[in-house]
Amino acid sequence: MKTSTSASAFAIDVRGVTKKFGHRTVVNDLCMQVRPGEIYGFLGPNGSGKTTFLRMLCGLLQPDAGEGSCLGLDFRRESAEIKKRVGYMTQKFSFYEDLTIEENLDFIARLYGMARRKAAVEKSLARLGMLERRTQLAGTLSGGWKQRLALAACLIHEPQLLLLDEPTAGVDPKARRDFWEEIHQLAAAGLTFLITTHYMDEASRCHRLAYIAYGHLLARGTVAEVVQAGGLTTWEVAGENLAALAGKLRRLSGVEQVVAFGTALHVSGRDAEKLRAAITPFLASGQRWTQIESGLEDVFISLMETTPDNFS
């Protein structure tokens, strides 16, 4: 539909993106390539620069360095054009609580100068299933519905790329599942997504992932690639007295992390041999030991703990 005869086959293709606030480097030399129609998960601890990166992509912030394209447009110089084709959903609900659902949608549609505004609002209300609740004030909606309204408002101008900043924070599991269902449908129709999240189940529903901590990109690829790149060996221990065992295990060299998962412990380390040597004395102590595949969460915790926090 557009003259996207760009050299890049990617929806997002940026290199060397850097942003400083004062002397703090919040995003450092970040590269990202997202294919059209892809759901790209963007993970990292709080304050790692995810939101700042999204804000730079949609022109809310000026990067200090970096180049590349977003939807085939120069992301530093053509942010006005990019804004028209991108939907950005902020972390906090940022529509007007004292306007009704319909008024909010109509307002956004006007800001984008849509030619068939009324029809777009109707379509959006219908898709939300909110036709009969259109006169309800947005402030009276529950968390899940607010999030659906926010998504609908981001979609109203038919963007090609959606940037969602922790869209499911504080939303119940059922609503979250429905939300992801909708995202997969939209992606199948060609829409590209860049989604930040802290939930591992959501991360594993993304086509590809990037993990960023303290401004640095630490891992990227599919879930399997990220797990493999983490190079982590993990043992699961089940049985009695796990808390005491965890304390002992943590002191051993070769054991890099011990995490409690309900009635089991995950014991991980990057050097498989060293880890095995360290745990051998405990294998016969009454608990059940099994070597398992490392999960995303194990990998991320490991990545986070081995990266120095350059802010403190």
Partner 1 sequence: MNRPAFSFQRFFAIVLKEFIQMRRDRVTFAMMIGIPMVQLILFGYAINSNPKHLPTAVYAADNSPFSRTIVWALRNSSYFDLTREAHSAAEIKTLLAEGKVQFAVTVPVDFSRQLLRGEKPDLLLEADATDPSAVGFAQAAVSQLATTVINRDLTGPLARLRASAPPFNLLTHQHYNPESISQYNIVPGLIGVMLTMTMIIITGLAITRERERGTMENLLSTPVHPGEVIVGKIVPYILVGYVQMTLVLLAAKFLFNVPFIGSVPLLVGLTFLFIVANLAVGITFSTLAKNQLQAVQMAFFFFLPSLLLSGYMFPFRGMPGWAQAIGECLPLTHFLRIVRGILLKGNGLGECAPDLWPIALFVAVMLAIAVKRYRQTLD
Q: Does 94 bind partner 1 (CB under 8 A)?
A: yes
Q: How far is the CB of 157 from partner 1 (least distance, A)?
A: 8
Pick from 39, 43, 61, 264: which binds partner 1 (CB under 8 A)? 61
Q: Does 92 bind partner 1 (CB under 8 A)?
A: yes
Toward partner 1, which CB reaches closer, 55 or 220?
55
Partners of residue 30 on adjacent β-strands: 17
Q: Does 108 bind partner 1 (CB under 8 A)?
A: yes
- Give the binding range for partner 1 (CB under 8 A) out of 26-34, 39-47, 105-113, 215-223: 105-113
Pick from 22, 23, 46, 80: which binds partner 1 (CB under 8 A)? 80
Cα–Cα distance measured from residue 143 to residue 127, given in angstroms and rounded to the nearest whole number: 18
Q: How far is the CB of 312 from partner 1 (least distance, A)?
A: 21
Q: Does 59 bind partner 1 (CB under 8 A)?
A: yes
- Give the binding range for partner 1 (CB under 8 A) out of 26-34, 59-67, 124-132, 283-291: 59-67
Phi/psi class of residue 129: alpha, beta or left (left: φ > 0; alpha: ψ in -120 to 50)? left
Cα–Cα distance measured from residue 53 to residue 297, given in angstroms and rounded to the nearest whole number: 23
Q: How far is the CB of 154 from partner 1 (least distance, A)?
A: 9
Pick from 4, 8, 93, 198: which binds partner 1 (CB under 8 A)? 93
Q: Does 88 bind partner 1 (CB under 8 A)?
A: yes
Q: Does 251 bind partner 1 (CB under 8 A)?
A: no
Taking residues 11 to 50 in sequence order and writing x for each that binds partner 1 by CB under 8 A, - otherwise, the string is: ----------------------------------------
Residue 241: alpha-carbon gap to chain centroid: 36
Toward partner 1, which CB reaches closer, 90 or 160?
90
Assess contact for 192 and 38: CB atoms under 8 A: yes
Q: How far is the CB of 23 from partner 1 (least distance, A)?
A: 15
109-128 binders of partner 1 (CB under 8 A): 111-113
Where does this chain bind partner 1 (CB under 8 A)? 55, 58-62, 80, 83-84, 86, 88, 90, 92-97, 108, 111-113
